[in-house]
Structure 1
Amino acid sequence: MSPPSQFSSLPKDLEWLILARVPKRLYPILACVSKNLLSLVRSPEIHKTRSSLGKDSVYICFMHKNDDGVGHTSHWFTLRRTKNNPSTEENQLVSVDDLTFPDHAEPMPSIIACGPEIFFISGSYVPSSTVWIFDSRTDEFRRGPSMNVEHSFKCVGLVGSKIYVVGGYRNDKIHQAESFDLKTQTWELTPSPDEERLAFSTANVSLDRKVCGFMYLAAITICYDPRDGSCEVFDLPKDRWWETGVCVMDNVLYVYYARLGLMWYDTELGLWRVVNGLDDMKKVRSVAMGEYYGKMAFLWEDSACVGCAMKEVWCRMIGLVRSEEGGIVGNAEPAQLMGSVPSGYRLQHCLSVSE
C-alpha cells in the first residue's frame, strides 16, 4: 500500500474501494497508521462498499435435542445480503448444509470466528485437544493443529492474532491456558488464570485485549488477561440473562435482557448502562447478536402460537453511536422476517465472519 500521504490524495471512493478489499481483521492496525486511515475504516461508507462486495456475513447456530433424547444436533444458517441486489439493505437467512461438525463424539465444542474461518475447539464434557476449522469461503472443514493438552469446561477468546483457550480440568487440577498463533499455526502455553470459575463460564467474548467468560447463573463476568494470568470480575445486571444475547463491537460489551433491554458496559465508570433510543423495540427472548457491516444484527425467535410446529426468525439492524453526553444511542431499522425454523430449535451461537 502507498504511504499515507500518497494514499490520502486518492479520491474517497477509490480509498474505500481499496480498503474494503483489505481483511477486516487488519483494520485495527490500519487505524494506528494515521488519523486519515482511522477515519476511513470507521466510516459507514466502507461498510456499504464491503456490503456491495459481499465480504461479511453472520453465522447463526440453532440446536435441538435428538429424537432419542441423547445429545443435540446443530443447524447452521447464514445472514447475507440478497444475491439479486447486494447493495440494498435486504438480507436473507440461508441454510448452510455443509457446516456439519465432523466429530460426532463431541456434543458441544467451543466455537469462535476469526476472519473467514470458524474454529471448533473440542472438549466440553470429555477432555480433548482436537481442533477443527471451517472455511466459509470454500464451505469445507479441515483438521487444525491439536492443543498441547486436553481441555474441558473451558473459555475461549480471540485477542489480536491469537486464539486463547483458558481453563479445563484434568486430575482435579486446572490446566494452564494456551494460545493458538494464527500466523505461525502453533500452540503455546500462557499464564494460568488466577480465577478457577472461568473454566465453567459460557458465552465467551474478548474485551480490552482480555478473554471474557460469563457465568449467568452467578450473574458475573470474568475477564482473563493473557499477559499475566490475572482475572477481573464484575457483576452482570441483576436480571435473568440469556446466554445468546451478548456481543462486542468496537471494544464495547453489549448484553440483552428481556426486561431491561439492550445494555452496554461502561469500563470507565464500571457500570452497566442502557442503550438509548430503542424504546420502540419489542421485548423478546432467545436473542442472538453479531456485528454486520458496522451495525448490530439483532435476531430473535417469535412463535406465532403455542404448540405451533414452526417459529419465525426476525432481525433488526441497529446502528450504535456515542452521544455527546458519553452514552450510546441506538438507531433500529424496521424488523425483517428472515424465515422460519422448527419450534424445537434453540438459538445457540451467533458469529460475525468476514474476509
Structure 2
Amino acid sequence: MSNSATNKEPPHKKRKTSPSPPDLSWSPLSSLPDEMILSCLARVSRLDQAALSIVSKPYRSLMASPELYKTRSELGCAENCLYVCLLTPPDPTPRWFILRRGETLNRLSPIPSLSSQSPEASSVVVMDWGIYVIGGFIKETTRTSDVWLLDCRSHTWCQVPSMGVARACAAVGVVNGKIYVFGGCLDPDSSNWAEVFDPKTQTWESLPPMPDRTKRNQYIHDSVVVREDKIFAVDAVDRTYCYSPSEGKWGRGNDAPTQGNTRDWCVIDNLIFCMALSGSVYWCAPDQLEREPEGMYWRKVEGLVSLKKRLSSSRLVHFDGKMEALWESYKITIGRDKKLIDLLPGTRLSKSGSNVLLLWDVIEGDHLEIWCAEISLERRQGPEIWGSIEWSNAVMTVDPFLHHYKVGALLKCFQYPGDELSMNFITKYHQ
C-alpha cells in the first residue's frame, strides 16, 4: 500500500467509464418499460431473489445491478446491514464481518478482508452499494492517500483513485452522490485540506480553501451531514466546521461542549445522536450546530439505564498510536494523569434505519466477547426521547485474548436491498 500520491498517476487523469444500464430486452417482461420491469423485480421477496439469481446469467447480473439497488431503496424495500471492521492483536490486519440475524441469536460472520488495509485511523463512508475506506495510518505514523471500495453486493474489494494528499482521521460525508473529505493531513494550511470525489468520473478535486486556515485542526473525530446540504466536521477540541456544496462556501459551526467527549455522531430522523464516555446516548437538534454563543445542548436518551454500566466500561479502542503518544506528552503540560483510553468512549454507535446500534466489548480473563444491541427510539411529549432494547447478545467471541489494551472496532450500518442468500451465491459465482 502506498503512503503518498507522489508516485501515482495524478487523480485528475484517472477516469473510468460509467457502467451501462442493464439490458432488460431478454426479460419475459420485456414488453413493459424498463422502469416497470425494475419496479416489479425490486418487490420480489428475498428468497425468490436468490432463486432468480440461479435462473440465468442476465438475472444474476440484474440482481447485482446498481439500478435494482436504487429502485429497491426508492420503494422502501431496502434492508439495514451491519458491517464491522475489527482489529484484534496480534493480528495486524483488520478483519471485516457482517451481522447475520437469526431467530434467537445474531452473530458476526466473516467476509473477505483486505490484507493491505490501513490498520488504524481510516475513515469510512457508505454510498450506494459500497463502503469506501479512506486513508489511515500505516507503520503507526505514516499517512496514506489510498482509497478502497468494498462492494457489498459481492463482498469483493477494489482500489479507487487515491486522494491528492495522504490523510488519517479525516472527516467524510456524502452529498448528492459525491464524497467530501476534510482534514487529516499533516499540513493544516494545505490547499488540499479538503477534497471531493466524484464516483461517476473517478476523479478527486480540491475544494476552495477555508478562509480561516490558522484555526484548522488536523485531527477530526467526527463528521455529520445535516439536511443533505451541509457537512459538519468536529475537531479534537470540539470546534465544528461546515461546508455547503451547493454554495461552495465554508462556515464555522457552533462549538460542541460534550457530555464526556462524545463520539460517532449520526443523524436519525432529523436528530443528531452520539455516544458519551459515561455510557449514555445523547441527542440534539441539528439547528444547534449553527453558531450560538452558549454552545450545543445535548439531552440524554432515557430508558437505557440497564446498559449504561456495560457501555461505560467498554474499551474498544478507536484512536491511532500517534494520537496516544501526543496525549502522553501533552498531559504533562496540562497536569493530567489519565490515559487517553479513559477519556474516550469505548462503545461504538451507528444507525440502523430509525434505530440505534451499539457495539461494545466484554473482557474477562483471557476471554473477549463483542456485544451488540439494537435500540428503538420513541419521542414522547416534551423534549424527551426514550430508548427500548429490541435485542442484545454477544455476536462474536475471541478466545484466548491476551491483548486487552488494543481492540479496535469500526461500525457501519447501511441500507442494502439484497439478502444473505443472494449475496452468498453471487460471491460463489464470481469465484
Deviations 1:174-202 (A, max 9, x none): 23322112344332332233465353112
| Distance across 1 between alignment mates of 2:70 and 2:204 | 24
Deviations 1:114-167 (A, max 9, x none): 2321112225454544322111222211121233x2132432222231111123
Highest Rg: 1 or 2? 2
1:329 corresponds, among 382, 386, 393, to 386
2:58 counterpart of 1:59: no
Deviations 1:8-51 (A, max 9, x none): xxxxxx99947999647985xx5xxxxxx8xxx5xxxx6xxx4x
What SS does the corresponding residue of 2:165 show, helix, strand or coil?
coil
Contact persistence 2:241–2:250 (CA under 8 A): no
| Distance across 2 between alignment mates of 1:107 and 1:172 | 20
Q: Which residue of 2 aligns with 1:11?
A: none
Aligned positions of 1:1-355 closer than 5 A: 17=43, 23=69, 41=76, 50=78, 55-66=79-90, 72-82=92-102, 88=103, 90-96=105-111, 98-102=112-116, 108-122=121-135, 124=137, 125-126=141-142, 128-147=144-163, 149-153=164-168, 154-169=170-185, 173-176=189-192, 177-193=194-210, 194=212, 196-208=215-227, 209-216=229-236, 218-226=237-245, 227-241=248-262, 243=263, 245-259=264-278, 261-268=280-287, 270-283=296-309, 284=311, 285=314, 286-303=346-363, 305=364, 308-341=365-398, 342=401, 344=403, 346-355=407-416
| Distance across 2 between alignment mates of 1:343 and 1:255 | 30
- In the alignment, structure 2 segments of 5+ residues that lack a partner are 1-39, 47-66, 289-295, 315-345, 417-431
Q: Which amino acid aligns with 2:107?
A: Q
- Percent identical pairs in the alignment equals 25
Aligned CA-pair RMSD: 3.4
Specify which structure has the higher proportion of helix: 2
Deviations 1:89-128 (A, max 9, x none): 74221122x1124356x75432222232111222545454
Contact persistence 1:287–1:347 (CA under 8 A): no
Q: Which amino acid aligns with 1:247?
A: C
1:169 to 1:91, Cα distance in 2 relative to 1, 3 A: closer
| Distance across 2 between alignment mates of 1:300 and 1:260 | 10
Deviations 1:279-314 (A, max 9, x none): 3333213212222354222121112x3xx2221122
| Distance across 2 between alignment mates of 1:296 and 1:172 | 34
Contact persistence 1:127–1:150 (CA under 8 A): no
The TM-score normalised by the length of structure 2 is 0.60
1:281 to 1:92, Cα distance in 2 relative to 1, 3 A: same
1:17 to 1:183, Cα distance in 2 relative to 1, 3 A: same
| Distance across 1 between alignment mates of 2:105 and 2:99 | 10
1:350 Cα offset (Å) = 0.7
Contact persistence 2:270–2:285 (CA under 8 A): no
The number of residues matched between the two structures is: 302
1:142 to 1:203, Cα distance in 2 relative to 1, 3 A: same
Which structure is higher in RCO with an 8 Å CA cutoff and minimum separation 6?
Answer: 2
- In the alignment, structure 1 segments of 5+ residues that lack a partner are 1-13, 31-36, 83-87
1:263 to 1:186, Cα distance in 2 relative to 1, 3 A: same
Contact persistence 2:126–2:132 (CA under 8 A): yes
